[in-house]
Amino acid sequence: MSLNITGNFFGQIKNSKQYQAAAKDFLSLHRQEVAAMSPEQKMMYELLGGEKGYMNNVMKNYNSDGDFTAGGIVVPGMLATGIPESERHQIINISEDARQMMFDNVKREFIKENGISNGNTTKRSEVFRKFQLSIPKEDRLKGTWTLQQYEGNYRSALYHAVKAADPNWEAGQPFDPAILDNITREDIEKNLVQSGNRLVKKSINCYA
């Protein structure tokens, strides 16, 4: 009786989006690996749960909607595998709050690191994650692409502002943070225009 219940239960699991997504990504290759096992290896494999045990472990990387989350590390909807660049590299509307959050982070880190992007100290991943979780799943790849466009333009504007104040300055060298006091997100965005799937400066402006 217990085996029958277990079988029925696993049958229900196999119909779930979670199982189907995991199977699509991993099961075919796994079965090839099992087929290549020696009799002794297969015996140990079955003792450890066999295919059911393997799939139960793999399924932990997916949520109930079939989204790959790597146990909560990856935000649902942010796996780009199999999605054409033309579908995920699109410009969409980004809330003012999200843009301001990104601008504040870019400016803070630009000053702290003297104009250098330091992957060891940046909190940009936290900014992106918070933003991603604030919008619908289907918009997250496009929204992230768009916010990256703003991020790059904010950093470029700060760089050119410091350069305009001190032509001899180079990234990595100290500078007077007061140079950036009057640089606002709004001023930078007024000078941006969409060009295809990118946001670019519509005219030369040193923001000084």
Q: What is the structure's pLDDT at 6?
A: 54
pLDDT, residue 24, reads 93
d(CA 102, CA 108): 10
CB 150 within 8 A of CB 92: no
Q: Are 83 and 139 in contact (CB under 8 A)?
A: no
Ranges of the chain whose pLDDT falls below 50: 1-5, 206, 208
- How far is Cα 56 from Cα 61, in angstroms, rounded to an integer? 10
Question: What is the reported pLDDT for 4?
Answer: 44
Which pTM does this prediction carry? 0.80
β-partners of residue 198 are: 195
Check residue 3 and give its pLDDT. Answer: 39
